[in-house]
Amino acid sequence: MLTGFLQFLFSGLTVGATYALAALGFAIIYNASRVINFAQGEFIMLGGMAAVALTGLGIPLPVSIVLAIAVAGAVGALIEKFAIEPAGRADVVPLIIITIGASLVVRGLVQVLLGKGTHALGAFSGEKPFVIAGATLLPQSLWVLGVAALVVAALGWFFGYTRQGKAMLGTSHNMLAAELVGINTRSVLLLSFVLSGALGALGGILLAPITYTSYDVGIMLGLKGFVAATLGGLGSATGAVVGGLLLGLLEAMTAGYISSAYKDAMPFVLILLVLFFMPSGLFGAKTTDRV
């Protein structure tokens, strides 16, 4: 009984940490522009696929990881510069449609350049599992959890102690006021897409040795990242982390104690419940204004 619970717990936390990174990407862009970036899943896919392609060329794994993150960050910058910026101050819905179109373009290019096959990335530090009370924990899972924790800490430092981080926070609270005090909100939006791309790629790279990767994995991972961000409260970094971990645990427990056939349905049931009973999420801003 305990062994099974621990096994599901380890699995849920591992996948949930990846969802948390995806949800953080959603939160960063939403704060900067109030746009929900549905290309986030493609950043996750791009990180894993680029790392696999680069290691296949004989480039050492650490260098491949850095380059793959840089590629995803550059793609994020290109999407903002050539798709979002030309739209100017368009309404939210057209901007969301633009991000969906961008995701289709990225997915199509990866399919053409790297193929439709499923690929594996080598584990970072071996595949011999640790045994804890009868349950097994892969070393790669520790990498996922450890790196995710470091990323959360680094983002906390960035937003709390750097000029650019504070500019992003100011823009998220009030864009007009931020512009009036001299903050370049366009550069903030560009940086938010770069950070979002890098975070998504990192999640995809960390997860690739466990679940493999292909050109279409970003669809479901992106949707689950969105559910995690909504569950925690869109725009809340704390909510993104909590929502991602909670979603991963719910999925794992559903697969373990009910049926794996319902695992992928859980996020969509959850988002319906959130939208009906808690539209602002666990940590979202509560407003009582009426128009």
Q: Are 25 and 225 in contact (CB under 8 A)?
A: yes
pLDDT average, residue stretch 124-139 = 89
Band (287; pLDDT cuts 50, 70, 90) = very low
Give residues with Cβ within 8 angstroms of 205, minimum separation 6. Answer: 47, 48, 51, 65, 68, 69, 121
Mean pLDDT, to the nearest integer, of 249-257? 91
Q: Identify the pLDDT of residue 249.
A: 94
Q: Please, what is the average pLDDT of the chain?
A: 90
Structure confidence at residue 285 (pLDDT): 57
Distances (CA, A) of 269 to 7, 227, 249, 253, 262: 24, 10, 15, 15, 10
Per-residue confidence (pLDDT) for residue 277, from 0 to 100 = 85
What pLDDT was estimated at residue 223? 92
Residues 10-41 pLDDT 10s: 999 999 999 999 999 999 999 888 888 999 99
Q: Tens digits of per-residue pLDDT, 50-60? A: 999 999 999 99
Tokens of 34: 């109030």
How many degrees, rounded to 5, is the angle at CA 103 between CA 248 and CA 83?
130
Q: How many CA atoms lie within 13 A of 109 on its CB side?
A: 12
pLDDT, residue 291, reads 30
**Angstrom distance (rounded) from CA 25 to CA 133:** 35
CA nearest to 107, candidates 64, 56, 49: 49
- Give per-residue pLDDT as tens, 194-209: 999 999 999 999 999 9
| 184-195 pLDDT tens trace | 988 999 999 999
Checking if the pLDDT of 289 tops 70, the result is no
* Residues counted in the chain: 291
* pTM value > 0.85: yes
Task: Report the percent of the chain where pLDDT is more than 90.
Answer: 64
Query: What tens digit of pLDDT does each residue of 84-122 get?
Result: 988 877 788 888 899 999 999 999 999 999 999 999 898
Rounded to an integer, the average pLDDT of 44-49 is 95
**115 torsion bin: left (phi>0), alpha (psi -120 to 50), beta (else):** left
pLDDT score at 134: 86
Check residue 228 and give its pLDDT. 94
Name the band, by pLDDT with cuts 50, 70 and 90, for residue 288: very low
Angle (CA) 220 77 70, round 5°:
75
